[in-house]
């Protein structure tokens, strides 16, 4: 091994498997592969580790970060109601900070100063990886074989076939897929024509919502904005997400077809399926409607939007994100209670809410006897509330009369 190896974010797929040998050929430096499990499922970590070694890595490190990812990243996104452009639950964007955290640690342990990734030069992930890495380790540099060493997809396929690398991706399976416990993202191939509808083979996390099973009623309990139990069974954040992935996925919930605005300035068509994430986001947002004060809730919607944007843009470790986190943390103190939902036919519909820390007052809200709202106060409130626009309207009428004369 050279004194300064390259640490590579390794997924076990085509691009990063080929990148191991490609980096060695182009730079003369050995490669340490790092695979981080964030709940992507599929192959065992040991299988991925052995594949990295078979592809030429001098060492391969695997890390089980599923609980860490669910607790410290997905739950933070849930508290922020995070959906980029109001739709996308940040599946890939959320995983990059935890992956880079482990990459930087391995690089430090190995005495390496270069971290590599398999991202393209026109995607968001190159920014997310590199900004996250240098935010944690300003002394490190980043390398992208695809962008910096001309490792295009067709070249990668030919290289893999020529060197008989033990990977399955071929010219007959052109999709680029990224997945974790929070969801799944699919792009490239025929999906790049935005007129083409996705075919059933695109989906694996969700069943076809056109032919759903019987409706599934679920109750989710939250404490401080974090789900802690499903149908009375206490679960870890990872356990909650996995349980709802299973149940909401069976109902076809969480399918998203989005043409999104990438950070690098182009539009991209992405297919997402996020059954657990979408269900939890709907439930959490509804509980906030019950527990947050009106002006606090209005301002938080702006904060949530900005939080989603900076995470999409790779700014997990930024000062702004830390400041927004502090505000969000404060808003979650009273987000406690239960949300009941019906999962069916591609939709997660809230049917019940209850909270001991909520602001809903039945006696104030009811129109029946027992109403404690003082309706006589309304007239004075309306007079004062409408006074500014009343004065403005009077001015316009006065000026119009003067012009007419």
pLDDT in tens, 325-341: 999 999 999 999 999 99
Report the mean per-residue pLDDT for the chain. 94
Domain boundary (138, 173, 208) is at 173
Q: What is the pLDDT of residue 1?
A: 45
96 noted as active-site residue: yes
Are 244 and 199 members of one domain? yes
Are 218 and 321 members of one domain? yes
Cα 328 to chain center, whole Å?
17
State the residue range of the domain holding 24.
Answer: 6-173
Residue 228 lies in a domain: yes
Give the number of domains in the chain. 3
HSE (CB half, 13 Å, CA atoms) of 295? 0
176 is in an annotated binding site: yes
176 noted as active-site residue: yes
Q: Kindly tell me if the per-residue pLDDT of 49 is higher than 50.
A: yes
Q: Annotated catalytic residue: which of 66, 76, 96, 221?
A: 96
239 is in an annotated binding site: no
CB distance 182 to 241 below 8 Å: yes
Please, what's the largest Cα pairwise distance for the chain? 93
CA–CA distance, 105 with 102 (Å, rounded to integer): 5
Helix axis angle, 275-291 to 294-312, nearest 10°: 150
330 noted as active-site residue: no
Are 43 and 115 members of one domain? yes
Are 301 and 183 members of one domain? yes
Q: What CATH number did the domain enclosing 217 receive?
A: 3.90.1260.10
Are 166 and 192 members of one domain? no
Where does the pLDDT of residue 264 fall: very low under 50, low under 70, confident under 90, or very high at 90 and above? confident
Buried b (16+ CB within 10 A) or exposed e, 155-194: ebbebbeeeebebebeeeeeebbbbbbbbbbbbeeebeee
Residue 279 lies in a domain: yes
DSSP secondary structure of 104-143: HHHHHHHT--EEE----TTSSHHHHHHHHHHHH-TT-EEE
67 noted as active-site residue: no
Residue 403 lies in a domain: no
Residue 1 lies in a domain: no
203 is in an annotated binding site: no
Q: Annotated catalytic residue: which of 29, 30, 92, 125?
A: 125
Q: What is the pLDDT of residue 405?
A: 81
CA–CA distance, 257 with 314 (Å, rounded to integer): 22
The set of residues, in sequence order, having a beta carbon less than 8 Å from that of 69 and lying 6+ positions away, is 38, 39, 94, 95, 98, 180, 181, 182, 238
10 is in an annotated binding site: yes
Residue 405 lies in a domain: no
């Amino acid at each position: 091994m050279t004194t300064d190896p390259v640490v590579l974010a390794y997924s076990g797929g085509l691009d990063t498997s080929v990148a191991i040998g490609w980096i060695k050929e182009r730079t003369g430096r050995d490669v340490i592969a790092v695979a981080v499990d964030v709940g992507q499922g599929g192959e065992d970590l040991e299988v991925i580790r052995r594949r990295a070694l078979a592809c030429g890595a001098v060492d391969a490190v695997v890390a089980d970060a599923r609980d860490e990812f669910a607790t410290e990243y997905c739950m933070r996104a849930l508290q922020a109601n995070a959906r980029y452009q109001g739709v996308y639950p940040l599946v890939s964007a959320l995983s990059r900070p935890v992956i880079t955290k482990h990459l930087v640690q391995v690089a430090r342990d190995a005495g390496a100063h270069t971290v590599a990734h398999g991202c393209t030069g026109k995607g968001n992930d190159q920014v997310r990886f590199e900004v996250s890495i240098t935010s944690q380790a300003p002394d490190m540099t980043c390398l992208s074989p695809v962008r910096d060493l001309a490792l295009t997809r067709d070249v990668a396929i030919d290289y893999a076939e020529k060197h008989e690398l033990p990977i399955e991706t071929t010219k007959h399976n052109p999709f680029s897929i990224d997945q974790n416990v929070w969801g799944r993202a699919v792009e490239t191939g025929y999906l790049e024509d935005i007129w083409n509808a996705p075919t059933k083979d695109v989906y694996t996390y969700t069943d076809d919502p056109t032919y759903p099973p019987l409706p599934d009623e679920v109750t989710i309990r939250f404490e401080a904005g974090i789900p802690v139990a499903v149908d009375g069974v206490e679960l870890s954040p990872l356990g909650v997400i996995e349980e709802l992935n299973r149940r909401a996925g069976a109902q076809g919930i969480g399918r998203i077809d989005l043409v999104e605005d990438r950070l690098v300035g182009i539009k991209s068509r992405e297919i997402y399926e996020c059954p657990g994430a979408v269900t939890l986001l709907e439930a959490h947002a509804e509980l906030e409607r019950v527990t947050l004060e009106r002006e606090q809730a209005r301002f938080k919607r702006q904060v949530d939007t900005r939080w989603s944007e900076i995470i999409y843009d790779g700014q997990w470790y930024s000062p702004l994100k830390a400041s927004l986190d502090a505000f969000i943390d404060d808003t979650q103190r009273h987000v406690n209670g239960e949300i009941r939902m019906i999962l069916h036919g591609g939709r997660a519909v809230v049917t019940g809410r209850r909270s001991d820390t909520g602001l809903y007052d039945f006696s104030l809200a009811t129109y029946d006897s027992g109403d404690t709202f003082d309706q006589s106060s309304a007239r004075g409130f309306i007079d004062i509330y409408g006074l500014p626009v009343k004065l403005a309207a009077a001015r316009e009428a006065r000026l119009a009369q003067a012009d007419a004369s």
